Structure 1
Amino acid sequence: MIADIEDIVKTVANRNEAEILRADLVNILKNGLRRTKPTSPRDRILAGWTAEAEKFVKEKGKEVVIINADKGNKTVIMRRSEYDDKMRMLVSDESTYKRSSRDPTSRVQTQNNTLVKMLTAKGYIGEREKRALMCYSGVPPRLYGLPKVHKDNVPLRPVVSFIGSPNYGMAKFVSSLLSPLSVCHYNVRDSREVAELVKGRVLPEGYRIVSLDVVSLFTNVPVDFALGEIDRRFSEVEPHTKITKEDFLKLVEFCLTSGYFRYDGEFFLQLDGVAMGSPISPIVADVVLQRLLDETLGNSRLRIECVKKYVDDLLVFVHEDDIEDMLVRVNSFHPKLQFTLEMEKDNMLPYLDMKIHRDEGNVLSTTWYSKPCASGRLLNFNSGHSFSMIINVGRNLVKRVRGLTSKVDADVNSKLNASLKKNDFPPKIIRKLLSEHDRQRPSGDRVPAVEVDPGPFRSLVHIPGVSEKMKKRIAKSTDVNICLVPAERVKRFFTRVKDKLPDGLCSDVVYEIPCRDCSLSYVGTTGRLLKTRLQEHERSCRDPEKNKGLTSLCAHVSDTDPQHSFAFENTKVLDTHRVYSKRMMLEMLFIKRNLPRVVNNRSDVDGLSNVYAGLVNE
């Protein structure tokens, strides 16, 4: 909370106003923490449920895996042995993955940085982009699986967490350059666009509504074919970049062929396909599917009225006599790209989160649809989130359901009522949300929105009744937009299914190193890999007299007789934060809290306002 406050205060240019704001916010926080409120029945119930969940996780945590489902916003509890068996089955696919005896991170990082230097040397990018793309503390991507509860035997969908990996920045950079290729007549942005396209459309006699779904699209994208297709369409990318075709294809090839991950302590190379989780995967898969549709459906004699695509879900209006031929054509394009087909039943077909209906006279209409695998869970009205966030969740549901429904009637309102009621929204609030939407103008009468700069955004830990007051006070001094972040999250009950990185491979950390010969310790911070920073500490301690001015850690070694040594192997990570200013504030807070039990100098906390003194130890 203190780190959040300081980050917000820094947005105020006037120093005196900033100090007044800081003091006011700390005062609000102190009063809120000291105020004792009687526990409400709701709080007691939630506390009981929390204790029950904690007990279950403590007793069964090693036997089960608690994880989100692939779709439907469901929570899945499965036996650990079952999860492990299914994950091993995934990585045993030798046509897609290959075990590696070594960690490829260093090699991939070197390849990435070589390409970045090439881009800089040729004037394609500036120093700012170079700093963003260079990687010095990459960590291996990690594989985990999400249960497909809507499929028989509940298979796992492989997902690779790429954030922090050596090729993550380059993949984001290249995918942004490839974005012009995603503009095509097949693609739709969302289900709302499909609803607008379908509403009132008359389907010719003899035509049927069908959907096609690609089987495991990302892992089956043929990389060589994708590279060839990007090569063929480079003329569409060329106007948006200074990079030559030859050099651009080098970047794409690197992103598509340097895939690897860590699972259960082992490393695997991705031989083909693209990983779900890489920034470049969606656009590459899209480019491949566009070519497939052009070749199989676009230039065919099949009687097709419409083809639309959302990621790997295709909607097609096709003559009933051509359906079988269409399926054969798309499944013959490439052996790795196979489709399943679903036909309309009883003049209706589910697509995305709506149903497309064929009404009298073959006129099409849509209604909102919740799939059988959907949990129906929203942000519960009794959750610890801010009231405004909870209301916005309900408001967005009403807007979405009615927006996807051609004719809003009592049945639609009944479904909305049931969904909101299931998530503990009070009847009065539900009525207000429904009537509020009724009062809005029809979309055709809306005045075009004027684009306004919303100003900077900052986060603030949500303490009910306290953060709201702080937010109002902040609004008087700065135009910063405050996002309230819950202090407690259900996520803490979930199983860590990604490989836990050793502390040495963590970055953006605040850490503590204990002295081996006394009770003192050293607190520091680094944005690089912790092991890299510790190696620097160890080297500086070899000549502590010469390096005593570098850190108080060296000074402690130099000033003790006989010389003390630090137990680097027992280094502890105290906290992590990617925002540099917040991490520096956290370092000062840990030093201040532990004085005089740390060797750090008192000058190390000079940047910490005295206003926080009373809060540091609370």
Structure 2
Amino acid sequence: AVLPRGLYFEKAHQAISSVFRVCEGINLAKIRSRAKNLCSELDLPVLAREIGKSDKLSLNLFFTTKTHKEGAPFRTIVSERNSWQYELGRFLQDKLKLFPVEDPFRIFNSGEVVNFLKQHPGARFRAFSIDIKDLYYSLPHEGLLACIDECIDSFGAVPFQNTTGISSKGFLELLSLYITSTFVEWNGKTYIQKEGVSIGSSIAPFLSDLLLAKFDRALNVKLGELSVVKTFRYVDDYLLILRCDLETFHSKVMQVLQIFRECLYPLVVTHEMPERNSIRFLDLKISFSENHTCWCYEPRSQKPVLPFSSAHSKLVKRGIVQSCFHNALERSCHHVLEASLLAQSERLEREGYPRTLLISVAEAMHRKRKRLG
């Protein structure tokens, strides 16, 4: 659908105003020159040259529609492509990789949650989740710079300079300039992001992981004093598993939330309680009873799989079926395994996948599992 011009600008203005503010009297060419000159002062001629050659003085801004929300509001999307921030971000990213992310909670997929639950059959767990609101938009600049300064100190200032060719002071100056140069241009005006790091930044994931690792280490010490037996974090989502009875669960949650608010300040956290004794985390639905804990592969997203009528090869479509069945098998407990497989079969059939193909893939997977024992 094509939006009327007036409605488009209204939605766009609302989206921009939620994240950016107008920046009056700013000369973007001077900002780029400042970055270039700083690189020259730090004896980084190649980086200075690349920044000077960059086509764009600001970040790229465009919009997508939140179709799942009432009124279909716009979401702002930012990209560093062809900007001088992209060149500086690449340089910083290469150096940030030197720092290990020592985080007791961080995971990369739901498989680690499944492995933990498998190790505790029959355990009477309770759980709830915590979410960091607008993580990238909320990362505190001072906190980030202090965190990276500590990372350099742990690595060693001299080894860092010998490895990177830049002093710790110079690196922090470049990082500070980068995270405060979140300029975009729209409708004849220049805007700057109100807070945090650009969501389109190439180093935002590195910065958030390093800062949250610091917070999580402090959390880990304090949570040990409560009934929390395991904590998982995926980007900005936490899953906390507690061993307590239903009567004390709510009070324990409130205590844990208070600790999170203290340790993660100034980040803002929200939480989600179980509904009908079940909670969702990543692509899992975890259910609790008095006798055991169940888990089932059940992605939150209702996005359909690739339609069978697409022009993709048969091999690709067979791989999609195999992936759906594999996830159901590996990420569902034996109590709900049959229902999980059935749900994936129905999901595939809705997109036109013939039952003969589903049976063929299932039989092949069964033979392989039988052969491997």
Give the distance between the partners of 1:425 and 1:401, measured in 2 at CA: 17
2:203 is the alignment partner of 1:280: yes
Within 5 A, what are the aligned runs for 1:101-140?
101-102=25-26, 104=28, 106-117=29-40, 121=43, 130=47, 134-139=51-56, 140=58
Give the distance between the partners of 1:343 and 1:99, measured in 2 at CA: 41
Match among 241, 244, 252 for residue 317 of structure 1: 241
Deviation at 1:313, TM superposition (A): 0.6
2:190 is the alignment partner of 1:267: yes
Match among 344, 348, 352 for residue 278 of structure 2: 348
Give the distance between the partners of 2:364 and 2:7, measured in 1 at CA: 48
Give the distance between the partners of 1:349 and 1:197, measured in 2 at CA: 16
AA at the equivalent of 2:333: S
Distance 1:201 1:175, change over 3 A: farther
Residues 308 and 315, structure 1, Cα contact 8 Å, conserved in 2: yes
Q: Deviations over 1:209-264 (max 9, x none)?
A: 01001111111111111111111222355567333321221222122111111233
Taking CA–CA contacts closer than 8 Å with sequence separation of 6 or more, which of the two structures ends up with the larger relative contact order? Answer: 2
Match among 169, 186, 198 for residue 105 of structure 2: 186
Deviation at 1:195, TM superposition (A): 2.0
State which structure, 1 or 2, has the greater radius of gyration over its C-alpha atoms: 1
**Residue in structure 1 matched with residue 295 of structure 2 by the alignment:** 366
Distance 1:255 1:432, change over 3 A: farther
> Could you list the runs of 5+ residues in structure 1 that have no partner in the other structure?
1-59, 64-79, 447-618
Give the distance between the partners of 2:370 and 2:76, measured in 1 at CA: 43
Residues 380 and 424, structure 1, Cα contact 8 Å, conserved in 2: yes
Distance 1:389 1:333, change over 3 A: same
Residues 381 and 425, structure 1, Cα contact 8 Å, conserved in 2: yes
Give the distance between the partners of 1:365 and 1:192, measured in 2 at CA: 14
Q: Secondary structure at the match of 1:345?
A: coil
Residues 80 and 201, structure 2, Cα contact 8 Å, conserved in 1: yes
Give the distance between the partners of 1:322 and 1:441, measured in 2 at CA: 42
Match among 338, 355, 366 for residue 427 of structure 1: 355
Give the distance between the partners of 1:389 and 1:310, measured in 2 at CA: 28
Within 5 A, what are the aligned runs for 1:31-42?
none
**Residue in structure 1 matched with residue 228 of structure 2 by the alignment:** 304
Match among 210, 219, 233 for residue 128 of structure 2: 210
Deviation at 1:308, TM superposition (A): 1.1
**Residue in structure 1 matched with residue 329 of structure 2 by the alignment:** 402
Within 5 A, what are the aligned runs for 1:426-505?
426-441=354-369
Distance 1:87 1:103, change over 3 A: farther
Deviation at 1:389, TM superposition (A): 3.1
Distance 1:217 1:149, change over 3 A: farther
Deviation at 1:203, TM superposition (A): 7.9
Deviation at 1:387, TM superposition (A): 3.6
2:13 is the alignment partner of 1:88: yes
Q: Deviations over 1:334-374 (max 9, x none)?
A: 66421111122333211111112235534x34211132xx3
Deviation at 1:136, TM superposition (A): 0.6
Give the distance between the partners of 1:343 and 1:322, measured in 2 at CA: 12
Distance 1:277 1:350, change over 3 A: same
Aligned length: 358
Within 5 A, what are the aligned runs for 1:211-250?
211-238=129-156, 241-242=163-164, 243-250=166-173
Give the distance between the partners of 1:203 and 1:165, measured in 2 at CA: 55
Q: Secondary structure at the match of 1:350?
A: strand
Residues 181 and 236, structure 1, Cα contact 8 Å, conserved in 2: no
AA at the equivalent of 1:392: G
2:79 is the alignment partner of 1:161: yes
**Residue in structure 2 matched with residue 255 of structure 1 by the alignment:** 178
Give the distance between the partners of 1:403 and 1:85, measured in 2 at CA: 47
Give the distance between the partners of 2:183 and 2:36, measured in 1 at CA: 17
Residues 255 and 280, structure 1, Cα contact 8 Å, conserved in 2: no
**Residue in structure 1 matched with residue 302 of structure 2 by the alignment:** 375
**Residue in structure 2 matched with residue 97 of structure 1 by the alignment:** 21
Deviation at 1:311, TM superposition (A): 0.5
Give the distance between the partners of 2:129 and 2:122, measured in 1 at CA: 15
Distance 1:131 1:111, change over 3 A: closer
Q: Secondary structure at the match of 1:261?
A: strand
Residues 128 and 241, structure 2, Cα contact 8 Å, conserved in 1: yes
Deviation at 1:279, TM superposition (A): 0.8
Give the distance between the partners of 1:157 and 1:115, measured in 2 at CA: 34
Deviation at 1:191, TM superposition (A): 1.8
Q: Secondary structure at the match of 1:249?
A: helix
Deviation at 1:310, TM superposition (A): 0.3
Residues 208 and 343, structure 1, Cα contact 8 Å, conserved in 2: no
AA at the equivalent of 1:293: D
Distance 1:109 1:304, change over 3 A: same
Q: Deviations over 1:538-559 (max 9, x none)?
A: xxxxxxxxxxxxxxxxxxxxxx
Deviation at 1:115, TM superposition (A): 4.6
Q: CA RMSD in A?
A: 3.2
Match among 105, 113, 118 for residue 199 of structure 1: 118
**Mean Cα displacement is larger for which, 390-399 or 147-156?**
147-156
Give the distance between the partners of 1:82 and 1:332, measured in 2 at CA: 42
TM-score, structure 1 as length reference = 0.52
AA at the equivalent of 1:171: G
Give the distance between the partners of 1:81 and 1:303, measured in 2 at CA: 54
TM-score, structure 2 as length reference = 0.82
Give the distance between the partners of 2:66 and 2:2, measured in 1 at CA: 21
Residues 178 and 237, structure 1, Cα contact 8 Å, conserved in 2: no
